A = this chain, B = another copy of it.
Amino acid sequence: MAEAEKTQPKFHRLEADERREALINATIRCLARLGPRATSVREICAEAGVSPGLLRHYFEGKDDLVAQAYLHLTSKLNERVESFLLDQAQPPESRLEQLFLHILTEEWVSDEILGVWVAFWSLQRSDERLSNLHRVYNREFRDLIGKVLEELAAEREIKTNIRLAAISLSSLLDGLWLELCLDPDGFSAQEGIAICRSWLDGFLGRDVHDGMRNAKA
């Protein structure tokens, strides 16, 4: 019990925004490491290095925290997607190429993202506000894709149903992303990207099979 040791503070305070973000990141890590079931209030707070009671000072409860984690990640995704999808400096086709790479590459195909998504889907049914949250994010994403497709269709004088085309591409991306997360050995990210390119070939009136034939695993 030397007095020198007593000078170390038992905890240090953080600003509200910092603490909130720390708890959100801890939640994401816990969901990735333990899954939705074992991610308890105590586990999250231990991961964040704080005591269990603190969670309720910054969030309505555990479910709210999970929802905020989902919101945090979707916002980040949509921001980044928007930043290079609406970048007029590049041709639309290579902007979409960047999108494919971003969604089907390790950064986004991860236990962290899948964990939060599955946990959110579990909660979505119970709470109508969460359904709205998902709807808003999802349509935002779809509309971003729609805008690029519209540019593309306009400059090449393609007559189509932009809304359905956007739904098609976003669903294809979602499906590829999910299958890649659930079974990483089913196909490679490169093959997923080749599939997306092929979709784009069809949209632009090119042969759908040209790019598929010599896609590397």
Q: A39 CB to closest chain B CB, in angstroms?
A: 10
Count of A interface residues, CB-CB < 8 Å:
58
Which residues of chain B have C-beta atoms less than 8 A from A173's C-beta? 175
Which residues of chain B have C-beta atoms less than 8 A from A168's C-beta? 172, 195, 198-199
A187 to B171, CA, bound (A): 11
Q: A194 CB to closest chain B CB, in angstroms?
A: 6
**A201 to chain B: closest residue by CB:** B202
Please tell me if the beta carbons of B212 and A160 are within 8 angstroms of each other in the complex: yes
| Of A126, A135, A187, most B-chain CB atoms within 10 Å | A187
| Of A35, A171, A173, most B-chain CB atoms within 10 Å | A171
> A residues engaging B (CB < 8 A)?
35-38, 111, 114-115, 118-119, 121-126, 131, 134-135, 138-139, 142, 158-161, 164-165, 167-168, 170-176, 178-179, 182-183, 185-187, 191-192, 194-195, 198-199, 202-203, 205, 207-209, 212-213, 215
- Known pairs A135-B183, A165-B212, A171-B175; list 7 more (Cβ under 8 Å): A35-B125, A38-B126, A114-B121, A118-B121, A167-B191, A167-B192, A175-B176
Given contacts A125-B111, A167-B186, A205-B207, are A213 and B159 in contact (CB under 8 A)? yes
Please tell me if the beta carbons of B183 and A167 are within 8 angstroms of each other in the complex: no
Copies held by the complex: 2
Please tell me if the beta carbons of B182 and A167 are within 8 angstroms of each other in the complex: no
**A33 to chain B: closest residue by CB:** B125
Please tell me if the beta carbons of A121 and B164 are within 8 angstroms of each other in the complex: no
Please tell me if the beta carbons of A124 and B182 are within 8 angstroms of each other in the complex: yes
A36 to B46, CA, bound (A): 24
A-B contact pairs, 19 of them (CB 8 A): A115-B125, A118-B121, A124-B182, A134-B182, A135-B183, A138-B186, A139-B186, A159-B209, A160-B208, A160-B209, A161-B209, A161-B212, A161-B213, A167-B179, A167-B186, A167-B187, A167-B195, A168-B199, A174-B178
